[in-house]
Copies of this chain bind each other. A is one copy, B any other.
Amino acid sequence: MPSVDVLVEGIIKGDSSTLGRAITLVESNRKDHLEKANAIVQKCLSQKRDAIRIGITGVPGVGKSTFIEALGAQLNAQGNRVAVLAVDPTSTQSKGSILGDKTRMDELVKNPKAFIRPSPSGETLGGVARKTRETIILCEAAGYNIVLIETVGVGQSETAVHGMVDFFLLLKLSGAGDELQGIKRGIVEMADALVVNKADGDNIKKAAAAAGAFKRALHLYPPKENGWIPKVLTCSATENSGIDAIWEMIQGYIEQNKKSGYFLEKRKRQNRNWLYESIEERLKSEFFQNGNIAPEIEKFVTEVMAETISPFQAAAELIGMFKNKS
């Protein structure tokens, strides 16, 4: 493995294989890899990076990969360099890792202006989220000016992705009148736009009707703190229609928010939250992985299970040891 400086140099040159190797370090759980990864992230942070980060979510089958393929191709054609990442903490369990099957984006994969990276596997959501955040920094330092982050529309991964992007897009299908049913309220509240996909052929009318229903339903939600009213659009990713209007809308949003200062303010807040998450994660990992503490935890677990000591008292004693012994 090359040195930190060599890797950083390669990243900044935009060499995608070096970027891939650096991300592998970020994704590793080996302690020496971790140190190297931290040094790389730290150096990449100081690079000029002005990418736009877009989160894309939706239930399985909604056409996320096809949508990203279509949007990515258009962005590439306009001269942008696009990185596609994924957050999917369930990938090892379900074997249905998003972006794992790269052939689903076969055009984008072949495009030298695009970089595609599947979700790191075998990790908790917290772990995946941290690694994805650091990967974003690396991709941006490598000159990718648009980062698309895909996540599945189930569970809590949307909240994690929402916390690392500038724009959050929810893909939907036209349903049978139940429209906003089946999506958790929280996910709709996070969305800056709802896009009804598969608006093609016989489905065009149904998609338009669904979009209308979404628009009405969104009126029941409180306005965003930046005053933005979530937009509802339709598209067909397979027929490549409506994609340009979506990108225009996103650009409009970004411009408006950069002007108002909200863009930077949100980024800063995301960074601060990320610090607090990092602190909590590291506190726990240092405590539970401490060689002096682990056998003590075992002893206290036995005592707590037998109710000879209260869990609260046991925690106090263990943390006292942690601060003295480590």
Bound complex: CA A300 to CA B130 (Å) = 18
Q: Which residues of B contact A306 (CB under 8 A)?
A: 268
Most buried by B among A280, A281, A282, A310: A310
A92 within 8 A of B: no
Bound complex: CA A275 to CA B274 (Å) = 26
Q: Are B312 and A41 in contact (CB under 8 A)?
A: yes
Q: Are B271 and A307 in contact (CB under 8 A)?
A: yes
Q: Which residues of B contact A278 (CB under 8 A)?
A: 311-312, 314-315
Q: Are A312 and B272 in contact (CB under 8 A)?
A: no
Bound complex: CA A41 to CA B315 (Å) = 14
Q: Which residues of B contact A284 (CB under 8 A)?
A: 280, 283
Q: Taking CB as reference atom, which chain B residue is nearest A265?
A: B305
Bound complex: CA A284 to CA B45 (Å) = 27
A301 within 8 A of B: yes
A187 to chain B, nearest CB (A): 15
Q: List 27 A-B contacts (CB under 8 A).
A: A38-B310, A38-B312, A38-B316, A42-B309, A42-B310, A45-B310, A133-B311, A134-B310, A268-B305, A268-B306, A271-B304, A271-B305, A271-B307, A272-B301, A274-B304, A275-B304, A275-B315, A279-B319, A281-B315, A282-B312, A282-B315, A283-B284, A283-B287, A283-B319, A283-B322, A323-B323, A323-B326
Bound complex: CA A318 to CA B315 (Å) = 21
A308 within 8 A of B: yes
A interface residues, how many (CB within 8 angstroms):
44
Q: Are B313 and A38 in contact (CB under 8 A)?
A: yes
A137 to chain B, nearest CB (A): 7
A29 to chain B, nearest CB (A): 14
Bound complex: CA A315 to CA B20 (Å) = 25
A322 to chain B, nearest CB (A): 8
Q: Which residues of B contact A310 (CB under 8 A)?
A: 38, 41-42, 45, 134, 137
A325 to chain B, nearest CB (A): 10
A3 within 8 A of B: no
Q: Which of B283, B307, B318, B323 contacts A45 (CB 8 A)?
A: B307
Q: Are A312 and B271 in contact (CB under 8 A)?
A: no
Q: A42-B310, A310-B134 are in contact. Are A301 and B287 (CB under 8 A)?
A: no
A46 within 8 A of B: yes
